[in-house]
């Protein structure tokens, strides 16, 4: 099939970017979006041009490295699917596909389609970890956790940190990302010990760089891990709990 890619080219964070158009022929409908970019880059390199920079790693939707905006939609046209699992069969033959980096004030463009998502790391540094020494693996029944609770914690732990929720949000909010981590760690007995200080630290770090949530619900449409909107209520529940019980509880 034949596609025209209109791709955002930007040499570095400091300079302005622009769109450039490239025609790609000979790509199959079974190609993933990133494979199409690989093929395009082969053509660019063979003609002595600079290849298009983009992030990717596992290419099976579990690492959270990839992420481009396709026709204004973070990750691409298929909902809840990362860029690496989007296929060219979504686009009619001969169509024009606009590729941009993830757009958010907190995600400065590093180069072309690659953005700096370290703002999400700074939220995790605010408290999205376990600082107590858990020792060796405990006996299976030492910490009673119901099946439903364990499943719920795992569902929220599924976040791969790709940042699509931020890019999808008209407010540039990271509530879904932060809420998923807070919910995940608050549901299990050992990690719940630091609930209060974690909520305070993560919400403070989040408010420094990201926007407020207005419950547009755009984040849950793009999230490759299927994190539900409940995570946003969970974030506020954890923060309110920390306020009502006092810091560090």
Partner 1 sequence: MSTKTTEIRPGGRSTSARRHPLLSTFWCKIVMAVTGLIFSAFVLVHMFGNLKVYQGAEHFNAYAAWLRAAFEPVLPHEGLLWVLRLVLLASLTGHVVCAAILWRRARLARGPFRRRHLPLRSFTARTMPVTGLVLLFFVVFHVLDLTTGTSPAASDSFAAATTDSSHAYENLIASFQRPEVGVFYALAMIVLALHVAHGIWTAAHDLGATGRRLRATLVAASGVIALVILIGNISIPILVLLGVLQ
Contact between residue 180 and residue 233 where contact means Cβ atoms under 8 Å apart? no
Residue 74 DSSP symbol: E
Which residue from 61, 76, 82, 119 is in contact with partner 1, where contact means CB under 8 A? Answer: 119
Contact between residue 7 and residue 16 where contact means Cβ atoms under 8 Å apart? no
Which residue from 64, 127, 172, 201 is in contact with partner 1, where contact means CB under 8 A? Answer: 172
The footprint of partner 1 on residues 88-107 (CB under 8 A) is: 100-101, 103-107
Angle at 21 between CA 16 and CA 27, to 5 degrees: 130
Tokens 């995570």 map to which residue? Answer: 231
Contact between residue 203 and residue 178 where contact means Cβ atoms under 8 Å apart? yes
Give the nearest distance from C-beta 138 to partner 1 in angstroms: 27
Residue 66 has φ and ψ, to the nearest 5°, of -80, 165
- The 203-232 site mask, x for binding partner 1 (CB under 8 A), equals xx--xxxxxxxxxxxx----------xx-x
For residue 77, the tally of other CB atoms under 10 A from its CB is 15
Structure-token pair, residue 7:
């791709």
The footprint of partner 1 on residues 177-206 (CB under 8 A) is: 183, 203-204
- The 36-65 site mask, x for binding partner 1 (CB under 8 A), equals -------x---x-x----------------
Distance CA 176, CA 164 (A): 10
> How would you class 2 by CB atoms within 10 Å of its CB: exposed for 0-12, middle for 13-18, buried for 19 or more?
exposed
Q: Which is nearer to partner 1, 134 or 215 (CB)?
A: 215
The site for partner 1, by CB under 8 A, has a size of 63
- Choose one: 27-35, 75-83, 130-138, 171-179; the region binding partner 1 (CB under 8 A): 171-179
Which residue from 37, 169, 202, 225 is in contact with partner 1, where contact means CB under 8 A? Answer: 169
Which residue from 72, 92, 135, 144 is in contact with partner 1, where contact means CB under 8 A? Answer: 72
> Contact residues for partner 1 (CB under 8 A)?
6, 10, 13-24, 43, 47, 49, 72, 100-101, 103-109, 115-116, 118-119, 168-173, 183, 203-204, 207-218, 229-230, 232-234, 236-241
């Amino acid at each position: 099939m034949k596609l025209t890619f209109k791709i955002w080219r930007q040499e570095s964070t400091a300079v302005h970017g622009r769109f450039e158009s490239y025609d790609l022929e000979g790509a199959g409908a079974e190609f993933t979006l990133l494979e199409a970019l690989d093929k395009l880059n082969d053509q660019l390199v063979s003609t002595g041009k600079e290849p298009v920079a983009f992030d990717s790693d596992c290419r099976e939707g579990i690492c959270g490295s990839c992420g481009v905006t396709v026709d204004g939609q973070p990750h691409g046209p298929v909902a809840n699917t990362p860029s690496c699992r989007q296929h060219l069969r979504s686009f009619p033959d001969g169509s024009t596909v606009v590729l941009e980096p993830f757009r958010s004030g907190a995600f400065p463009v590093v180069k072309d389609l690659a953005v700096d998502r370290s703002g999400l790391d700074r939220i995790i540094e605010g408290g999205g970890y376990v600082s107590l020494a858990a020792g060796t693996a405990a006996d299976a029944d030492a910490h009673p956790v119901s099946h439903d609770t364990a499943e719920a914690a795992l569902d929220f732990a599924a976040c791969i940190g790709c940042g699509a929720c931020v890019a999808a949000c008209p407010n540039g909010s990271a509530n879904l990302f932060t809420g998923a981590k807070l919910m995940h760690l608050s549901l299990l007995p050992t990690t719940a010990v630091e609930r209060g200080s974690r909520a305070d630290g993560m919400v403070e770090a989040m408010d420094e760089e990201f926007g407020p949530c207005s419950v547009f619900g755009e984040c849950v449409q793009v999230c490759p891990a299927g994190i539900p909107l409940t995570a946003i209520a969970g974030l506020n529940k954890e923060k309110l709990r920390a306020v009502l019980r006092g810091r560090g509880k």
